[in-house]
Structure 1
Amino acid sequence: MRTVSVDGGIADHPLSPPTGPLAARTRGLRKTYGPTVAVDHVDLDVPEGAVLGMLGPNGSGKTTTIRMLLGLVRPTAGEATLLGHAMPDEAGHALPDVGALVEGPGFHPFLSGRDNLLRLAAAEPRLGGGDIPGAVDDALERVGLTAAARRRYRGYSLGMKQRLGLAAALLVPRRMVVLDEPTNGLDPAGTREIRSIIAELHASGVTVLVSSHLLAEVEATCTHVAVLHAGTVVAQGELAELLETGNPGLVVSTPDTTAAMEALRGGRIPSRLVPEGVRADLTAATAPEVVACLVRAGVPVHEARRARTGLEDLFARLTQGETNGEDRPERDGLSDVVETDGEDT
């Protein structure tokens, strides 16, 4: 595993490896379509009980990796295990414990949402016939589709279709839930509901793998992150640890930012103005030394806290910085992630 360096590249020190059992694992995973390399030697660890957000520009290989992990696509090379079972050969043992929404839901357009779920529930190996109606109604209520349950699927909006796909993934209790762009087409209220469902799953011990282009949602809901770029994993680990790998700094809140900047400049401590006050570079001094420098200069310090790299900044460093420094084809990095809903390779 690799982390972000101070200059925006990749640092030499590794993140802490996962210490608990893994719900999913890939090693050397590779998928080619003729001359096109969709996924190239992906090593991915999904800790059991984690909410792992898979990030990457469009075409970075997120969906292809998920499809191989679920046994929907056979890899060209490498191996994948899901809940301890080799995929795709042992898919029959793993998939009953996995709920998935991948590349948008597919249902019969002339059936109602409820009737579509009833058909799917009938194929669930762990649902008896008498349990099916109750399981379907519970799933519909959980995703907020009870009022629209008897409407035909062809009349559903994109957001309602996403909700029905999520309901299908939650028909029975799962050990792991895989969601590919689950908030696609949802309004802010629907997005908050999906966030709440993910939090409930996490609280109950379910492992959740979420592929998303919405950085704010990943930062709000995920405990772990894996960043894919050009078909490979460029960083992964606990979200909090990844966000601490950037240039360390101390943000000081003070009413006199001009005096603070002059004091730090006199102490040879690099600093810059930020909306919260002044940000001092901790590569040149420790936090106590920064505060002491300001106090000696008579600068009032209202608050001092360690600055943390934002996920947007981290993503840009990993996908844009690395591309510009290595012999890889250039791709649209952050703009793809925050502005488009295009298909993944």
Structure 2
Amino acid sequence: MPSSEPDGPAPAARARGLRKTFGRVVAVDGVDLDLPSGAVVGMLGPNGSGKTTLIRMLLGLTRPTAGHVELLGRTGADLPAALPDVGALVEGPGFHPFLSGRDNLLRAAATEPRLDGDLRAPVDAALERVGLAGGASGATGGGDAARRRYRGYSLGMKQRLGLAAALLVPRRLVVLDEPTNGLDPAGTRDVRGVIAELHDAGTTVLLSSHLLAEVEAVCTHVAVLQRGSLLVSGELTALLDGGSGELVLTTDDPDAALGALRAAGAGPYLRDGGVVVPAGPLEPPEVVAALVAAGVGVWEVRRRRAHLEELFARLTEEDE
């Protein structure tokens, strides 16, 4: 996913020829991927496509079989030096079950190299940010959810606490693997709000999710994986604009437009009061010229943007 501005900032993370095998199983196969600095990148793929394995290699948590990773300008043995600038929620959070959410977060804060002295302020701020302080919407029974033992947390509350741990200090890169898993609609909106805040602050966010509507709502870029291979990556708007060749026309006489376009060799049809021209032999100027020559008034011509679900289905089906 090269940057559209060659002279711009270096990618937050870069993978080249990344491959990971487990015995005879190829989990990730020769992936080249850039995470543009400041972007919100949605990583998509069916179960078993290699998303989590790729994320773990990008963070230095799993050693690649081949290829190399650059993380915030660090490579090789120097990779761990980048981790204080990275917040990650990968494969679900893991905390001590008999401690409260707040005590778990205090322990996590104690391991942060950029935090010292009184840890209560950053912990309280993180809990407030994810809605676990003072009766979160995801906490059953009300009260201060942060004071409850972790073993009594719902899945959504566990996700919130894991997100809080990732946000204890300002980060340059935040990696979220299925962050809305177990959250109700209010919790999902909260996570979207946090991602928007991070993006506004210039933080790079890598979001792995099965919820295509969620990715389409918050991401600026996407990367689609299938069976360990990268099918496509790039800016979301550009990929969606290129995902449908249909033209949608508004005319003063839809029936006459249908006749003129069919005579010109197109295969138009009506939808929601407009005339739709599928991708085919006629380019947009030829479509308009055919209508004008037939005396049909053209009020609007636009190319229909595909939804992410359509793009994802088309890419994975073509790969199959």
TM-score, with structure 2 as normaliser: 0.90
Per the alignment, in what secondary structure is the counterpart of residue 241 of structure 2? coil
Tell me the residue number matched to 1:244: 241
The code of the aligned residue for 2:43 comes to M
Tell me the residue number matched to 1:137: 124
The code of the aligned residue for 1:41 comes to G
Match of residue 270, structure 2, among 263, 268, 273: 273
Tell me the residue number matched to 1:48: 37
Higher relative contact order (CA 8 A, sep 6+): 1
Distance in 2 (alpha carbons) for counterparts of 1:210 and 1:71: 17
Tell me the residue number matched to 1:61: 50
The code of the aligned residue for 1:39 comes to V
Distance in 2 (alpha carbons) for counterparts of 1:228 and 1:185: 24
Q: 56-65 vs 246-255, which deviates more?
A: 246-255
Give how far 1:283 is off. 4.3
Question: Quick check: 2:3–2:36 contact (8 Å CA) kept in 1?
Answer: no
Answering whether residue 177 of structure 2 is matched by residue 180 of structure 1, we say yes
Tell me the residue number matched to 1:235: 232
The code of the aligned residue for 1:227 comes to V
Change in CA separation of 1:215 and 1:270 when aligned onto 2, cut-off 3 Å: same
Question: Quick check: 1:122–1:129 contact (8 Å CA) kept in 2?
Answer: no
Give how far 1:271 is off. 2.1
Give how far 1:93 is off. 0.9
Distance in 1 (alpha carbons) for counterparts of 2:153 and 2:43: 28
Match of residue 115, structure 1, among 103, 106, 129: 103
Change in CA separation of 1:152 and 1:256 when aligned onto 2, cut-off 3 Å: farther
Answering whether residue 63 of structure 2 is matched by residue 74 of structure 1, we say yes
Give how far 1:304 is off. 2.8
The code of the aligned residue for 2:49 comes to S
Per the alignment, in what secondary structure is the counterpart of residue 49 of structure 1? coil
Question: Quick check: 2:3–2:11 contact (8 Å CA) kept in 1?
Answer: no
Question: Quick check: 2:100–2:148 contact (8 Å CA) kept in 1?
Answer: yes
Q: How do 1:188-337 and structure 2 match up within 5 A?
A: 188-253=185-250, 257-275=254-272, 277-281=274-278, 283-297=280-294, 299=296, 301=298, 303-323=300-320
TM-score, with structure 1 as normaliser: 0.84
Give how far 1:256 is off. 5.5
Question: Quick check: 1:212–1:218 contact (8 Å CA) kept in 2?
Answer: yes
Per the alignment, in what secondary structure is the counterpart of residue 67 of structure 1? helix
Tell me the residue number matched to 1:342: none
Identify unmatched segments of 5+ residues in structure 1. Answer: 2-14, 324-345
Tell me the residue number matched to 2:82: 94
Identify unmatched segments of 5+ residues in structure 2. Answer: 136-144
The code of the aligned residue for 1:48 comes to S
Distance in 1 (alpha carbons) for counterparts of 2:275 and 2:45: 32
Question: Quick check: 1:18–1:237 contact (8 Å CA) kept in 2?
Answer: no
Distance in 1 (alpha carbons) for counterparts of 2:35 and 2:23: 29
Question: Quick check: 1:17–1:237 contact (8 Å CA) kept in 2?
Answer: no
The code of the aligned residue for 1:246 comes to G
Match of residue 84, structure 1, among 49, 73, 86: 73
The code of the aligned residue for 1:277 comes to G
Give the superposed CA RMSD. Answer: 2.0
Distance in 2 (alpha carbons) for counterparts of 1:295 and 1:252: 13
Per the alignment, in what secondary structure is the counterpart of residue 68 of structure 1? helix
Distance in 2 (alpha carbons) for counterparts of 1:194 and 1:256: 47
Per the alignment, in what secondary structure is the counterpart of residue 207 of structure 2? strand
Q: 62-71 vs 291-300, which deviates more?
A: 291-300
Distance in 2 (alpha carbons) for counterparts of 1:295 and 1:46: 46
Tell me the residue number matched to 1:160: 157
Change in CA separation of 1:267 and 1:144 when aligned onto 2, cut-off 3 Å: same
The percent of aligned pairs where both chains have the same amino acid is: 67
The code of the aligned residue for 1:133 comes to R
Distance in 2 (alpha carbons) for counterparts of 1:111 and 1:166: 17
Tell me the residue number matched to 2:92: 104
Give how far 1:319 is off. 1.1
Change in CA separation of 1:18 and 1:309 when aligned onto 2, cut-off 3 Å: farther
Distance in 1 (alpha carbons) for counterparts of 2:311 and 2:70: 28
Give how far 1:223 is off. 0.7
Question: Quick check: 1:251–1:276 contact (8 Å CA) kept in 2?
Answer: no
Aligned residue-pair number = 308
Question: Quick check: 2:89–2:175 contact (8 Å CA) kept in 1?
Answer: yes
Question: Quick check: 2:39–2:221 contact (8 Å CA) kept in 1?
Answer: yes
Distance in 2 (alpha carbons) for counterparts of 1:143 and 1:188: 14
The code of the aligned residue for 2:186 comes to A
Answering whether residue 146 of structure 2 is matched by residue 149 of structure 1, we say yes
